[in-house]
Chain A
Amino acid sequence: MLALLLHDREMRDRFRADRSAFVKEFGLEGADTQMICSLDCEQLDRQAEGLLRKRKSQVTQLIPRTWNRLGVEANRLFRDYVESSAWPESHQRHALDADAFCSFLQLNSIQEYSRSEHNWLKFCIGKCWFRLHFVSDCNVDNRNRWAVQVFYRTRASGTVQRTIFCGSMKSHR
């Protein structure tokens, strides 16, 4: 029940409004009832916000270009995404979260969505050894450029990204 309260803002609102009704509705008994009823709603909100902040922090590190492009709208869009989707699981949850957020932006035709960054993220999550993409939004000097993205894996270096622009080539891991 504690996990569900931390997960779901609506449940916290119902809990805050009427604890007795909440306990009855979810059939809590004995020590569990006592424990849940003793929780401080403000602390509960803060803990839930903390979870969201940590989750967001992981996503921003995985898709920095997209996040920067979203600017002041980033937080609102991330909250909208969180409330419209299930929380990802497994040890790859942060990468899956970032992937799902990118898909959310794409689905909602958000202009700042970066296909090239999303491609790289998907490659890192997957198990594919080699992948090619032709994209129009690779960034050079803050300008979008047409480019071919080449992704591959090596045993020694892990995942490698090479980007071939018109007349120039840049690479980074």
Chain B
Amino acid sequence: MAAVVEVGVVEEGVVEVAVVETDDLIEIPLVGIGFRGPIADWVFSNPAEIDCVEITAEHFFESSEEQLAKLSHLYPVSVHGLGLSLGTPGSLDSQVLSQFQRVADSVDAKWISEHIAFTRTGDVDLGHLNPLPMTRKCLSTLVDHASELMDRCQRPLLLENITSYLRIPGDYSEPEFLNRLCEQAGTGLLLDVTNLFINSRNHDFDPIEWLHEVDSQHIRQIHIVGYSFHEGVWHDRHREPIQDDLFDLVRDVVAYAPVEAIILERDGAFPPVNQLAAELTRLEETCESAR
């Protein structure tokens, strides 16, 4: 099916094209990539496969705003946080919050995002993401911190599910916890499809059942990268190409929820850029087939 398109010649050499009926047009998510140093030149060359870019806020805390301005001139940009530790009780680190806001403002971020996790406590900074007990107390902490972050940045906030080898008993199942969090904080969900897949394998549950327990309207963005499997355990090393079963899961998520963007989140072992471009193209095709 196609939309009705009117074509007219306005003046010599100028053709005006207007889409006058859009009922049959399908909306597919933007497909983009996480900005990293080794692929910076390719991203700045503005290839057709990249619709949007995600930057990691902490990577730009020390840098000038020139690179950020250049990126935001080329793409819609989302700003992703790693270190706000939204699940830690008490105040958010005001210095980190200010730096995060500066980066978000510099690129006029379309979205901001952080993880449903803790990275530090008063005693120790673990440096990476760790799971939270799905309890009322943790829910309240996350809601407060998410609200504070949104108030500060004045931008839509998406919260992301993490991988965890550790399961901590709590008051809610994970999908129920996510639904309550998104409703109470007024945030969306950044569904990391790879994390969902890995958790489902390591903790033996059905990712599709899990998906359908989450309110579809919350899921606004997807993260994806290949998984790895080593000594009987599934890992998120962010160094592998996307496997077929992950493309299948992306199709299920895009068919189920109003996803607005998909970000390929490669952190290491970067292949030639034509391979990354091919992955982005396949993601776009997957979205088209899902909608």
Q: Which residues of A contact B (CB under 8 A)?
A: 2-4, 6-7, 31, 35, 38-40, 43-44, 46-47, 50-51, 53-55, 57, 61, 87-89, 91-94, 97, 155-156, 158
Q: Per a CB cutoff under 8 Å, which of B61, B166, B237 touches A91?
A: B61
Contact A46 B165 (CB under 8 A): yes
List 6 A–B pairs whose Cβ atoms lie within 8 Å, in order of A's numbering.
A6-B126, A31-B137, A39-B166, A46-B165, A47-B130, A91-B83
Within the complex, the shortest CB–CB distance from B83 to chain A, in Å, comes to: 6
Add 5 more A-B contacts to A47-B165, A51-B130, A57-B268 (CB < 8 A). Answer: A39-B168, A40-B166, A91-B96, A92-B62, A155-B66
Contact B169 A3 (CB under 8 A): no
**Hey, what's the 0/1 contact readout for B131-173 against A, CB within 8 Å counting as 1?**
1010101000000000000000000000000001111111000
Contact A47 B268 (CB under 8 A): no
Tell which of B58, B96, B124 has the most Cβ of chain A within 10 Å.
B124
Contact A43 B167 (CB under 8 A): yes
B62 cross-chain contacts in A, Cβ below 8 A = 92
Within the complex, the shortest CB–CB distance from A9 to chain B, in Å, comes to: 13
Within the complex, the shortest CB–CB distance from A93 to chain B, in Å, comes to: 5
Contact B237 A43 (CB under 8 A): no
**Hey, what's the 0/1 contact readout for B52-93 against A, CB within 8 Å counting as 1?**
000000100111101100000000000000010000000000
A97 cross-chain contacts in B, Cβ below 8 A = 127
Contact B123 A54 (CB under 8 A): no
Within the complex, the shortest CB–CB distance from B60 to chain A, in Å, comes to: 10
A89 cross-chain contacts in B, Cβ below 8 A = 120, 125, 127
Contact B123 A55 (CB under 8 A): no
Knowing A43-B167, A46-B165, say if A87 contacts B63 (CB, 8 Å): no
Q: Per a CB cutoff under 8 Å, which of A40, A51, A57, A91 touches B99?
A: A91
Q: Is B121 among interface residues, defined by CB-CB distance under 8 A?
A: yes
Contact A35 B123 (CB under 8 A): no
Knowing A39-B168, A47-B165, say if A55 contacts B124 (CB, 8 Å): no
Cα-based distance from A169 to B220 in the complex (angstroms): 50
Q: Is B212 among interface residues, defined by CB-CB distance under 8 A?
A: no
Within the complex, the shortest CB–CB distance from B210 to chain A, in Å, comes to: 18
Q: Is B233 among interface residues, defined by CB-CB distance under 8 A?
A: yes
Contact B125 A4 (CB under 8 A): no
B130 cross-chain contacts in A, Cβ below 8 A = 2-3, 6, 47, 51
Tell which of A2, A44, A89, A156 has the most Cβ of chain B within 10 Å.
A2
Contact B165 A3 (CB under 8 A): no
Q: Per a CB cutoff under 8 Å, which of A50, A53, A61, A88 touches B268?
A: A61
Contact A3 B64 (CB under 8 A): no
Q: Which of B220-273 contact A (CB under 8 A)?
A: 233, 235, 237, 268
Within the complex, the shortest CB–CB distance from B139 to chain A, in Å, comes to: 14
Q: Is B177 among interface residues, defined by CB-CB distance under 8 A?
A: no
Contact A91 B126 (CB under 8 A): no
